[in-house]
Amino acid sequence: MKKLTMICMALLTLAVGVAAAQPMPMMGARGHDQMLKRFGLTDDQVTQVTALLAKQRTESVPMLAQIKVLDAQIEQAMTSANTDLKAVNAMVDKKAQIRADIQKQFLAMSVQIHQIVGDQIFYEMSAAFKAHRRVMGQHWSIRSVPFDGPRADAAPQPQQ
């Protein structure tokens, strides 16, 4: 169970990064397809993974917008002369719940992607994403939504 959790969290990190990333203009719409094919995925697997990533990205947009609205509301409430701490705390709780919902969606998607691509490709994708983040000097985040969970480098490696 612990190994499955670690695998899911590592794939989550990979999936979130791919889902949240905007394709570079030079990559075009098929940029992710080409990247996925480099891992040896079949056309069917690429189609399935791309569809999952697109679905997740689409479902996350309204939730990320809600978080931005809540941030603005919290800031406004905190600058008020008579700050209602109960109301602020309720907004913070709602924001935390939205973040938890996003993470749960990513976990579910990660499990699906892992089932589609298999263990070995999953580990290769995780390692590649980790290397990409290191080269780019990026830390995981979705714009204004920091992620405090495990990273791809915490993923267990397959036993030979």
State the number of CA atoms in the 13 A half-sphere of 126 facing the CB. Answer: 27
* Residue 89, pLDDT score: 96
Report d(CA 12, CA 26) in Å as an integer: 26
Report d(CA 59, CA 54) in Å as an integer: 9
State pLDDT tens for residues 69-103: 999 999 999 998 899 999 999 999 999 999 999 99
* Helix, strand, or coil (residue 10): helix
Kindly give the confidence (pLDDT) of every residue in the chain, 160 residues in length, as a single tens digit, with 9 standing for 90 and above.
Answer: 445 444 444 444 445 454 444 443 334 345 678 888 888 999 999 999 999 989 998 999 999 999 999 999 999 999 988 999 999 999 999 999 999 999 999 889 889 989 999 999 988 887 887 787 788 765 544 444 444 444 444 444 555 5
In a domain, 88, yes or no: yes
Asked if 102 contacts 60 with a C-beta cutoff of 8 angstroms, the reply is: yes
Report d(CA 66, CA 43) in Å as an integer: 35
Domain that holds residue 48: 2-154
In a domain, 113, yes or no: yes
Asked if 62 contacts 148 with a C-beta cutoff of 8 angstroms, the reply is: no
The structure's pTM equals 0.62
* Residue 159, pLDDT score: 54
Which residues, in sequence order, are CB contacts of 149 under 8 Å at separation 6+?
9, 12, 13, 103
Task: Domain count for the chain, please give it.
Answer: 1
